[in-house]
Amino acid sequence: MQPLLFPYLPNFMTEFVPSFSICILIFNCIVLQGCDGSLLLDSTPAFETEKNARGNLNSVRGFEVVDEIKAEVDRVCGRPVVSCADILAVAALDSVVAERLNHGLEGLSRQCTSIGFNGSSCIDQQLQEPGLNQRDLVALSGGNTIGLSRCLIFRNIIYNATDIDPAFAKQRRATCPRTGGNTNLAPFDPTPAKFDTAYCSNLVKQRGLLTSDQALFNGGSTDKLVKTYSLNPDVFWNDFAKSMIRMGNIKGLFVYC
CB 178 within 8 A of CB 52: no
Asked whether residue 26 falls in the same domain as residue 94, the answer is: yes
Higher pLDDT, 237 or 249: 237
In Å, how far are 24, 115, 125, 136, 251 from 130, measured between CA atoms? Answer: 19, 12, 10, 11, 8
Task: Give me the DSSP letters along the chain.
Answer: -HHHHGGGSHHHHTSSSHHHHHHHHHHTS-SSS-BTTGGGPPPBTTB--GGGSTTTTTT---HHHHHHHHHHHHHHHTS--S-HHHHHHHHHHHHHHHTT--SS--SPP-S------S-GGGHHHHHHTTT--HHHHHHHHGGGGS-EEEHHHHHHHHHH-SSS-HHHHHHHHTTS-SSS-TT-EEESSS-TTS-SSHHHHHHHTT--SSHHHHTTSSSSTTHHHHHHHHH-HHHHHHHHHHHHHHHHT---B----
Q: Please give the share of the chain, as a percent, with pLDDT higher than 90.
A: 31
Tens-digit pLDDT profile for residues 107-135: 433 333 333 444 444 455 555 546 788 89
Residue numbers of the domain that contains 27: 11-108
Q: Beta-carbon neighbour count of residue 221 at 10 Å?
A: 11
Q: Beta-carbon neighbour count of residue 174 at 10 Å?
A: 10
Asked whether residue 55 falls in the same domain as residue 155, the answer is: no
The pLDDT value recorded for residue 33 is 44
Asked whether residue 67 falls in the same domain as residue 142, the answer is: no
Asked whether residue 201 falls in the same domain as residue 242, the answer is: yes
Residue 252 forms part of a structural domain: no
Residue 34, marked binder: yes
CATH number assigned to the domain comprising residue 186: 1.10.420.10
Residue 196, marked binder: yes
pLDDT averaged over every residue in the chain: 74
Asked whether residue 74 falls in the same domain as residue 176, the answer is: no
Tens-digit pLDDT profile for residues 47-102: 777 777 766 666 666 777 778 888 888 888 888 888 777 777 777 666 655 554 44
Residue 171 forms part of a structural domain: yes
HSE-up of 229 (CA within 13 Å, CB side)? 32
Asked whether residue 101 falls in the same domain as residue 187, the answer is: no
Residue 256 forms part of a structural domain: no
Most confident of 16-25, 169-178, 187-196: 169-178
Residue 1 forms part of a structural domain: no
Residue 189, marked binder: yes
> How many whole angstroms separate alpha carbon 156 and alpha carbon 102?
34
Most confident of 35-39, 65-69, 213-217: 213-217
The pLDDT value recorded for residue 137 is 86
Residue 81, marked binder: no
Residue 38, marked binder: yes
> How many whole angstroms separate alpha carbon 157 and alpha carbon 246?
31
The pLDDT value recorded for residue 67 is 81
Residue 145 forms part of a structural domain: yes
Asked whether residue 226 falls in the same domain as residue 136, the answer is: yes
| pLDDT at residue 30 is higher than 50 | no
CATH number assigned to the domain comprising residue 22: 1.10.520.10
The pLDDT value recorded for residue 118 is 44
- Counting the structural domains of the chain, the total is 2
Residue 168 forms part of a structural domain: yes
Tens-digit pLDDT profile for residues 139-157: 988 988 887 888 998 999 9
Last residue in a domain, options 52, 78, 108: 108
| pLDDT at residue 192 is higher than 80 | yes
| pLDDT at residue 241 is higher than 50 | yes
> How many whole angstroms separate alpha carbon 73 and alpha carbon 95?
18
Residue 223, marked binder: no
Asked whether residue 65 falls in the same domain as residue 101, the answer is: yes
Residue 154 forms part of a structural domain: yes
The pLDDT value recorded for residue 83 is 77
Residue 115 forms part of a structural domain: no
Last residue in a domain, options 57, 85, 108: 108
Asked whether residue 88 falls in the same domain as residue 158, the answer is: no
Amino acid residing at 143: G
The pLDDT value recorded for residue 76 is 86
